[in-house]
Amino acid sequence: MTEREVIVEADGGSRGNPGPAGYGAVVFSADHVRILAERREYVGITTNNVAEYRGLIAGLEAAAELGARVVSVRMDSKLVVEQMSGRWKVKHASMIPLADRARRLVAGFDRVTFTWIPRAQNSHADRLANEAMDDATLIGEVHAAERQLLDAGSAAATLAEEVREAEEQLLGWTDEQTAARGVEEQLPSWIDEVRASNIQAAERDTPTAAESSPAWTGATGRPTRLLLLRHGQTALSIERRYSGRGNPALTALGREQAARAAKMLAAKGGIAAVVTSPLGRARETAEAAATALGIPVRVLDGLTETDFGDWEGLTFQEAAQRDPQLHARWLGDPSTPAPNGESFDQVRERVEAARRDLLALYPGQNVVVVSHVTPIKTLLQLALGVGPELLYRLHLDLASLSIAEFYPDGGSSVRLVNDTSYL
């Protein structure tokens, strides 16, 4: 349901300033009676003002997803209201990109007004921000576990290797079997086999009652369904090394994984597009799917992997030994970039932009999105509406499939995570 005029109330806070920070945003109907959308997120260690801007951005994005054209923004941050109204300059370096991002969002509406309100009148957004800051406890638990692993040194590394080997044995993966599966196979026949089923799927592409009826979350309308496919194996993934903007090719096993994933997707049918990261390992995986589906590949730069900077090609332990304090902080603070690389906050900004593009290009359709660990985790995080702790707790296998849905009323859900049953 499209709402032409909405009210956005947003807030952000930091316990320590800088300290554990979070934001909250709520979108109301124009009469301030119905709640149309809520957003909250823990954003790591930062200041009140940064968290307030993040809340504003989240609220404007939610309003845009609802199809609003006229927005009344109400906040108890005098700084943000005055800066966004153009009466005060944005001087702090950390807020300049956030203010620019907010202005770009404002430009997408017909009219946006900014009004300062007392904190007592912003209680809903304030509550959401405090709930987000409460998530810092979970992040602290992750940090404690990571520090224990780092302190354990080589003994922990040895134990991890023994556990990995045991897992491979339990899963039936011996060195000989791995080598055998890595041999390239000729798999031309399945492409022709599934094309007939694709035609039948296209004929039944009319939304069913189940697809258009309200989900248990309360979201309504037919969602844009993103089938999130991680690329296949590369040499760096075999050695468990940071692989960001480097461009390793798929291994023989990686190409087979891409072929198996493509066969599974083609059998599903009803897929409107294949969109991919510009990096070679993702494009090669996407090309296999597109060939099976008989549709072209579209490249979206925002889906590229994190730039790991100076850690590119290093193992987890090598990066931790090279920059112990920075690495430990980077593991829990999404605003901390890798040396000469990106932060997870920066990745999220471009992934959010990519998601908006996908929803605008393919409303109510099924889209295969071929990408990497961090962008896929970020899209799942956005769909679940949870904080950055998901980035550190969720495991995604090579060539695995996850499914996130984004509804026209701003709702979202996750249907599937890390499926590898077709491999």
Catalytic residue IDs: 231, 305
Gyration radius (Cα) of the chain, Å: 23
CA 249, 404, 24, 84 torsion-angle sign: positive
How many helical (H) and strand (E) elements, i.e. helices and strands, does the chain have? Answer: 17, 11
Specify whether the CB–CB gap between 366 and 270 falls below 8 A.
Answer: yes
Q: DSSP H helical segments within 66-111, as ranges?
A: 78-84, 96-107
Of residues 15, 46, 53, 27, the one with CA closest to residue 124? 27
Task: Tell which residue, 423, 391, 390, has the closest CA to residue 306.
Answer: 391
Per DSSP, 337 falls in state P
User: What does the DSSP 8-state code read for residue 336?
Assistant: P
Q: Tell me, what DSSP letter sits at residue 245?
A: S
Burial class of residue 328 in the structure, from the number of CB atoms within 10 Å of its CB (0-12 exposed, 13-18 middle, 19+ buried) = middle
Size (the chain), residues: 423
* Distance in angstroms (rounded) separating the CA atoms of residues 377 and 381: 6
CA distance 140 to 71: 37
**Whole-angstrom distance, CA of residue 179 vs CA of residue 252:** 10
Reported for 158-163, long-range contacts at CB under 8 A and 24+ positions apart, including other chains, are none
The CA-atom distances, in angstroms, between 200 and each of 196, 206, 267, 368, 412 are 7, 12, 11, 19, 28
Alpha-carbon distance of 410 to 6, in angstroms, equals 13
DSSP 339-379: TTS--HHHHHHHHHHHHHHHHHHSTT-EEEEEE-HHHHHHH
Indicate the angle between helix axes 189-203 and 252-268, nearest 10 degrees: 30
